[in-house]
Every structure is written in C-alpha cells, then in structure tokens.
C-alpha cells in the first residue's frame, strides 16, 4: 500500500450529496476480483454519455462534457472535495480501488458512510471529515480559483491552502500510523512473519501429525 505523509494536489469538486458506491463504480464492473483496472470506470455513468461495460476501450467512448472530472481545469486532480454521506450504498471495496486508481489520494467531506470510510484506510486513501461550513468554504474557493490546490500533512493533521490558516483534522492514531507507513492488513501481519514461522515450527514439533496430508 502506498504511504501517505504529505500530499499536495489539485482539488476537484463533487458537488452532490449522498454519492453512493454504485455511482462511484457501477455494478457491472464488479465482475473482476483483481484490484487493478478500475480507474477508467470511476463515476462511469456520469463520466460517459454511453453505457459502459467491462473491457471497453475508454478512448472509444463519448465523455460527458458537463461532468466535473471531464472539465480541463480539473484534469490531474488528486484531492476530491465532496458533500455529506459520501460513499453510501453497498459495501463494495471496488469503490476505493477505483478512486485510488484514478489518481485520488484524499477525499474531504462533512461525512462518509461507515463501511466506505473504513475501506478507504485499508486501501491507502485518506478520508478527511471537516465541518460542513468549512467544506462549503473549500467548495467556494475551488470554484473561484482555477488550479486551486491543497496540501495535506497527515503527520501534523492539517490542511494548508496557500498562505491561509491551516485547517486541522482528526485521524485515529492507529489508522494514521498505518497510512504513514503504507501498512494494509496483510502488511501489518507480515511484520510478524518471524514470530508466525516460530509458532508454526513449535506447533509441528509438538503435534507432528498436523503436517501429514489427508489422502481421501
């Protein structure tokens, strides 16, 4: 999992409440269990005029010129600004996969659906909860200033916009530790690899029959 320490990036505004996971990555793309290739289909039904199916070449499709991520000023955005209850709906882990593979590193919103919020941390995305008034202020600044960027410092737990006052945010200490070190659940387990091997060796020494293979 990619580490997150300090990130500076262009902001894209998703000015809709209750954006659900089926909008983030529609159901027809869930057939794949691989964790790659979902970026081109992020927000697929909003992003393209035509209906998308797995395996289509994105270059052959017709983009929706009115959709925010298709507008030239937001190309290359890596911070998504959203409204309340972002990520509601089904628990599909493909949603943070698609956001990450598109290029987003952080999402800022007044609130998130619980399962989506947890899945973000497990996949290297930083979801930041800010008061609704502060999020609205950031929307106004994003709309007013083309090329509006934010710097997110996870170590200090602050967001900086130009020379303005830093905006503090809270992240649970363990989640912060995992993101800053690039540890997903598997990475955390593998840190104990030596202890796991030692345990397995001791177990087989005392219960050698466990090493036998059952023949049906």
DSSP string, 53-120: -TT--GGGS-B-TTSGGGSGGGTT--EEEE-SSBTBSS--THHHHHHHHHT--EEEES-B-HHHHHHH
Q: Using DSSP, state whether 14 is helix, strand or coil.
A: strand
CATH class of 6-183: alpha beta
Mean pLDDT of the chain: 91
| Tens digit of each residue's pLDDT (9 = 90 or more) over 123-137 | 999 999 999 999 999
Count other Cβ atoms within 10 Å, centred on residue 95.
30
- Is-contact 83 107, C-beta < 8 A? no
Q: Could you tell me which of 50, 52, 49, 30 has the C-alpha nearest to residue 40?
A: 52
Higher pLDDT pick, 97 / 206: 97
pLDDT band at 183 (very low <50, low <70, confident <90, very high): confident
Average pLDDT over residues 167-192: 86
State residue 162's pLDDT score. Answer: 80
pTM of the model: 0.87
Tokens 């690039």 belong to residue: 182
| Predicted confidence (pLDDT) at residue 213 exceeds the cutoff of 70 | no
Phi-psi region of 37 (alpha: psi -120 to 50; beta: other; left: phi over 0): left
Angle at 49 between CA 66 and CA 149, to 5 degrees: 35
Tokens 């990450």 belong to residue: 100
| Predicted confidence (pLDDT) at residue 103 exceeds the cutoff of 90 | yes
| Predicted confidence (pLDDT) at residue 6 exceeds the cutoff of 50 | yes
| Tens digit of each residue's pLDDT (9 = 90 or more) over 43-100 | 999 999 999 999 889 889 999 999 999 999 999 999 999 999 999 999 899 999 999 9
| Tens digit of each residue's pLDDT (9 = 90 or more) over 9-49 | 999 999 999 999 999 999 999 887 777 899 999 999 999 99
Token pair for 161: 């916009």
d(CA 150, CA 160) in angstroms, rounded, equals 6
| Predicted confidence (pLDDT) at residue 214 exceeds the cutoff of 50 | no
Average pLDDT over residues 165-186: 92
State residue 34's pLDDT score. Answer: 76
């Amino acid at each position: 999992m990619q580490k997150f320490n300090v990130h500076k990036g262009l902001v894209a505004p998703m000015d809709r409440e209750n954006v659900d996971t089926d909008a983030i990555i529609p159901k027809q793309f869930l057939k794949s269990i691989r964790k790659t290739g979902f970026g081109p289909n992020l927000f697929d039904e909003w992003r393209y005029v035509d209906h998308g199916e797995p395996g289509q070449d994105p270059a052959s499709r017709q983009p929706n010129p009115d959709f925010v991520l298709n507008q030239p000023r937001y190309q290359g955005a890596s911070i998504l600004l959203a409204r309340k209850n972002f990520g509601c709906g089904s628990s599909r882990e493909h949603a943070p996969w698609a956001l990450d593979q598109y290029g987003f590193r952080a999402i800022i919103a007044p609130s998130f659906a619980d399962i989506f919020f947890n899945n973000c941390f497990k996949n290297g995305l930083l979801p930041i909860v800010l008061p609704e008034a502060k999020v609205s202020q950031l929307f106004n600044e994003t709309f007013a200033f083309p090329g509006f960027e934010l710097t997110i410092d996870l170590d200090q737990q602050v967001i900086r916009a130009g020379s303005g006052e830093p905006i503090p945010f809270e992240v649970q200490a363990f989640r912060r530790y995992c993101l800053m070190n690039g540890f997903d659940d598997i990475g955390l387990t593998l840190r104990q690899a030596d202890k796991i091997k030692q345990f397995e060796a001791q177990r087989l020494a005392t219960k050698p029959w466990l090493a036998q293979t059952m023949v049906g």
